[in-house]
Amino acid sequence: MLIDETIGFIFTDIAKINMKKHMPVMYDFWETTLLQNNPYKGNPLAVHLKLNSKQALYKSHFDKWLYLFNDTIDLLYSGSNAELAKSRALSMATVMQIKIMNEKS
């Protein structure tokens, strides 16, 4: 994702993601999302709304993220949790897009 032409700059130039700090947050997020162990305490919608105020996020950005996410899941995992991850990612991306569009109007 970081080197992708469509969305890489959002992670590197706009959000300035520090991967050493970001990945443990993502592990907690997906553990909570998939296994309901609840280690994640953040608010991804608030993070993305703030990001959208710095750089407009469009459907094409979410589509590319979903493509890369699903491709990675398919490459590395299989089974019901893999399918659940892809389903939850689609749901979250859809909700975020709706919330972002409502904020713009």
Domains of the chain: 8-104 (1.10.490.10)
Binned at pLDDT 50, 70 and 90, residue 1 comes out as confident
How far is residue 75's CA from residue 32's CA, in Å, rounded to a whole number? 22
Q: Is the pLDDT of residue 104 over 80?
A: no
Model pLDDT for residues 8-19, shown as the tens digit of each residue: 999 999 999 999
CB burial of residue 68 (10 Å; 0-12, 13-18, 19+): middle
Residues contacting 31, CB < 8 A, separation 6+: 37, 39, 40
Model pLDDT for residues 7-66, shown as the tens digit of each residue: 999 999 999 999 999 999 999 999 999 999 889 999 999 999 999 999 999 999 999 999
Binned at pLDDT 50, 70 and 90, residue 97 comes out as very high
How crowded is residue 43: how many other Cβ atoms within 10 Å of its Cβ? 10
